[in-house]
Amino acid sequence: MTVCCTCLYVLSYNNSCCMLPTSTALLQSLSVSVCLCVFVCVQEASCGYVIILMTLYWCTECMPLAVTGLLPVILFPMMGIMESSEVCTQYMKDSNMLFVGGLLMAIAVEQWNLHKRIALRVLLIVGMRPALLMFGFMGTTAFLSMWISNTAATAMMLPITNAVLKQLCDTEAQAEEGEMGGRGAGPGTGIPKGQDNQAFVMEPEPGVEESPEARERRLKREAKYLKLGKGMSLSVCYAASIGGTATLTGTAPNLILKGQVDELFPGNGDIVNFASWFGFSFPNMVLMLIISWLWLLFMYLGCNMKKLFGCGTNKDGDKEPYVVIKNEYKKLGSVSFAEGCILVLFVLLVLLWFTREPGFMPGWATVLFNKDKLYVTDGTVAMLMSTLFFLIPSQLPRCGGYSENGKPLKAPPTLLNWDVVHKKMPWNIFLLVGGGFALARGSETSGLSQWLGESLAPLQSIPPVAISLLLSLLIATFTECSSNVATTTLFLPILASMAVAIKLHPLYVMLPCTICASLAFMLPVATAPNAIAFSYGNLKVMDMAKAGFVLNIIGVITINIALNTWGAAMFNLNTFPDWAVNRRQC
């Protein structure tokens, strides 16, 4: 059987990685699956083959990730692992509804530019000094990515970052020109060389003689701001990834963890909910953000604290960049009725999430609904508040009346309409996440999870701290080459089985690995925020690799510190829970 599965692995790898058309590779792989279904009767091996096949397809992206997520619907029934109706139900779980509600809130916030208003207001508060400016960009991006997608937060913040740095560079050049008596020192008498990636590179105007001193100062200034631009770009994309770990709806891997825990351990008592996740992950996110900020300051801005924080220096040079941000804020106008409604609904949603089941006292859901069963979940609350976006008008309604041309006034549009949602909703994620739930259920049904757990039983002799640390490093490395969703989808069921086999709390390995799946800092292709930052042109792959390698190590260490301190107290990680003993039996 081992030889058979090895041959299938090699065949699938060749099909997906060679220069064959994707359709040919898929057809040949499906043919092998049918042969396996007919000639091999061991369900554990069949399910293992499906997992290996999907792993290869997800890593190589020989066809869309969401389509790969649908393979269990085809292969599990054909192999006799699960009935088709049972497989299909795995694609719409309670955690999917929570994801839908969170995305609808994010779409509403983006639709009415509330996120941009928040970002610009924060930047006006923190000031223009390099260290504080970087902290302001990182803090704002992290906060936004807690509620909207990491990609959207990065795409919105990077243009603002570039504009502010460009204005800082121009202001410094004009100040130098004034000191030198107008002898062609900077952009006041220069021409920009290129766009975006060369925004800080200026050339003197034709016919204007540039003195050696002026040229030296110009080149020094350009190098300074190119380096500063790299640091700012990295700070934004890294903060987006870090911020997404703080809330349950911040990024897809967090919801995959909740879905897997609820699927594999039905009696867990809703141990992972919005409040418990936030209580564990938010302090860890703040710690990671501060350490990342200090590391990027050291790497790109040096250690001159007086210069970085502006202590005892003249602040006149800050006025122009401040005006740029203030003008951008003024373009948004006054707070509209729609923005006010969204802000109220957003705050109300967060409060309902926190108070539904806070843990230290009975929540409102327990008192009103969940007396004997878990009727109301975080997904229920998310859908309730999201539905209101399609009911509340975007303008203050008026009763009756006519317009200037004598026609009756129409009702104002609602905060959201379905065309906007259909355009901005990442529907492919639901198939990808659903494929993960189907794999987890198939692993349990076929007995593969039990076999893997028994095979990993010798790990019981290794200290749990070492197991968690090694697995975190493994996931942080693997996620650089694969999407964080695919990484958590593949590893979490295996980790759950391993934890049960060695009598370790499942969350002790599942929690850190889920968060580490979002620590993709080293490569531009690792995650969308990295790709967006890289596309601005200031960065090279080595720049991202050098900064990201240290941040990966820092992230793994901080997560494991959190796990063994307040995480152990919150989730009682030092004991093996009864709900893990009485997990779903198939």
User: Residue 457 has what pLDDT?
Assistant: 72
Q: Mean pLDDT over residues 562-574, rounded?
A: 91
| Average pLDDT score over the chain | 77
Most confident of 56-60, 393-397, 465-469, 487-491: 465-469
Annotate 405-434 with b (16+ C-beta within 10 A) or e (fewer).
Answer: eeeeeeeeebbbeeeebeebbeeebbbbbb
Pick the more confident residue, 313 or 123: 123
How distant, in Å, are the alpha carbons of 104, 116, 182, 210 from that of 177?
51, 34, 5, 11
Confidence of residue 214 (pLDDT cuts 50, 70, 90): low
Most confident of 193-197, 344-348, 422-426: 344-348
How distant, in Å, are the alpha carbons of 34, 259, 274, 360 from that of 357?
47, 17, 9, 8
How distant, in Å, are the alpha carbons of 186, 191, 193, 220 from that of 208?
11, 11, 16, 19
pTM, to two decimals: 0.73
Query: Encoding tokens for residue 521?
Result: 């800092």
User: Residue 353 has what pLDDT?
Assistant: 85
* List of long-range contacts for 413-418, beta carbons under 8 Å, 24+ apart: 414/389, 414/390, 415/108, 415/111, 415/112, 415/338, 415/341, 415/342, 415/388, 415/389, 415/390, 416/104, 416/107, 416/108, 416/111, 416/389, 416/390, 417/390, 418/390
Q: What percent of the chain has pLDDT over 70?
A: 77
Confidence of residue 288 (pLDDT cuts 50, 70, 90): very high
Q: Mean pLDDT over residues 35-43, rounded?
A: 54
- Look at residue 343 and tell me whether its pLDDT is greater than 50: yes
